[in-house]
Amino acid sequence: MAKTALVTGILGQDGPYLAQFLIKKGYKVYGLIRRYSNPNFSNLDFVGVTNDVDYVEGDMNDEASLLNIVRTLQPTEVYNLAAQSFVKSSFDQAKLTTEVNSLGPLYLLNAIKYFSPMTKFYQASTSEMFGLQHTNGYQDENTPFHPRSPYGVSKVYAYWMTVNYRESYGLFTANGILFNHESPIRGIQFVTRKITDGVARIKLGLAKDLRLGNLEAKRDWGFAGDYVEAMYLMLQQPASNDYVIGTGESHTVREFVEAAFKSVGINNWKKYVVIDPQYKRPAEVPALKAKADRAMKNLGWKPKVSFEELVEMMVKADLKRYGSK
Ligand code: NAP
Ligand code: F7E
């Protein structure tokens, strides 16, 4: 019988890439969607799997809907990707962020515990949990947590509940501690996509400037398409565990800006970039760099797309979007 996967966050960035990956592996994929007045399937359209996914309606804030879905589907695997994932908004909407990102995973874990204990569970954990902490300049599975935003704090709760349900009830649960990963379908508010979209518009004469916050923050940016494979591999292991996933290479926002402008032949990027304090955060995560040795050794995983290739892929996609309009 075909394996089945319930993917929450199916309309976001990672959901479509994961659905595409699992469908190619022969899975039947169920995507959790909320009730919308106007649903937006554009990210699934982009990867070409909109009609290959079955949709189930529910909400991470609605425990009964999740219990009922898990009880009915009894999926082989649950990938919990749904979240209020924008760090900046979490400062202003801390309660909502906590409800979706902390209680949502708890509802799913309870649904599995009571109604489908053989279901394997993936939790979308994040490098934001490390915040200020590092081990000799990088972060791995042994680096302590010091989250710097309500988003980071909410994810630490979900991380530990995922570990706790493994230890307490013997469930197969895995935390993927993923560092920033991007793609042409990255949400427009996140800095990489905001930059590539801005660069495309400037190049085409549709915008005059690009307004950004802290250019000195360092991030370990990879390609989302590479990272969904790691999610899948975590659930195929003989025993469940938690894994850091990243490239091991770190760049400043400034370097991303430079590379994006350079890819369209603009070298004097400073002429276009305006520093706007509204994009700075009450507390910042200054530097993230993954040491993904455990994943490379146990999962045989490694990233395929380089930083330069990622920037170019995203700029090209945004140029194409505007060009075709
Ligand atoms: P994303 O693009 O923001 O997608 C998040 C998805 O969650 C959206 O489809 C959204 O649904 C859904 N969602 C939000 N609130 C919900 C609710 N109450 N009920 C049901 N669904 C809800 O995020 P992403 O970049 O794909 O990331 C996937 C996961 O990985 C997230 O949990 C994120 O926190 C985590 N993560 C991301 C990164 C990264 O760099 N991308 C790194 C580490 C961890 P709507 O479409 O209905 O709004
Ligand atoms: O910011 C700086 C900003 O919003 C990256 C989420 O997927 O990855 C993501 O969180 C950096 C920060 O991502 C602007 O201050 C400067 O230092 O793209 P971002 P994030 O906060 O790192 C982690 C791993 C997740 O788990 C999250 O869900 O860029 N920055 N100027 C800016 N950021 C934004 N958004 N906009 C600016 O104008």
Q: How far is the CA of 120 from the centre of ligand 2 (A)?
A: 30
CA-nearest residue, atom 9 of ligand 2: 180
Q: How far is the CA of 13 from the centre of ligand 1 (A)?
A: 7
pLDDT digits (tens, 9 = 90+) for 111-135: 999 999 999 999 999 999 999 999 9
Q: How far is the CA of 90 from the centre of ligand 2 (A)?
A: 12
**Predicted confidence (pLDDT) at residue 243 exceeds the cutoff of 70:** yes
Domain boundaries, the chain: 4-181+221-245, 187-219+250-284+306-324
Beta strands in 24-81 (DSSP E): 28-33, 54-57, 77-80
254 lines ligand 2 (CB under 6 A): no
At 282 the pLDDT is 98
**Predicted confidence (pLDDT) at residue 230 exceeds the cutoff of 90:** yes
At 1 the pLDDT is 81
**Predicted confidence (pLDDT) at residue 325 exceeds the cutoff of 80:** no
Confidence of residue 323 (pLDDT cuts 50, 70, 90): confident
At 296 the pLDDT is 98
16 lines ligand 1 (CB under 6 A): no
310 lines ligand 1 (CB under 6 A): no
pLDDT digits (tens, 9 = 90+) for 266-289: 999 999 999 999 999 999 999 999
Confidence of residue 109 (pLDDT cuts 50, 70, 90): very high
**Predicted confidence (pLDDT) at residue 324 exceeds the cutoff of 70:** no
128 lines ligand 2 (CB under 6 A): yes
Computed over every residue of the chain, the mean pLDDT equals 98
**Closest ligand to 194 CA?**
2
pLDDT digits (tens, 9 = 90+) for 159-197: 999 999 999 999 999 999 999 999 999 999 999 999 999
**Predicted confidence (pLDDT) at residue 201 exceeds the cutoff of 70:** yes
**What is the percent of the chain where pLDDT is above 90?**
98
**Predicted confidence (pLDDT) at residue 229 exceeds the cutoff of 90:** yes
Provide CB contacts within 8 A for 197, sequence distance 6+.
188, 318
CA-nearest residue, atom 10 of ligand 1: 9
- Determine the Cα angle at 212 with ends 90 and 321, to 5°: 95
The reported pTM is: 0.98
126 is annotated as an active-site residue: yes
pLDDT digits (tens, 9 = 90+) for 58-105: 999 999 999 999 999 999 999 999 999 999 999 999 999 999 999 999
CA distances from 131 to 128, 138, 157 (A): 5, 11, 15
**Closest ligand to 283 CA?**
2
Q: For domain 187-219+250-284+306-324, say whether CATH 3.90.25.10 is its number.
A: yes
Single-letter code of the amino acid located at 309: E
Query: What does CATH list as the number for 4-181+221-245?
Result: 3.40.50.720
SS3 127: helix
Query: For ligand 1, what atom is nearest to the CA of residue 36?
Result: 47
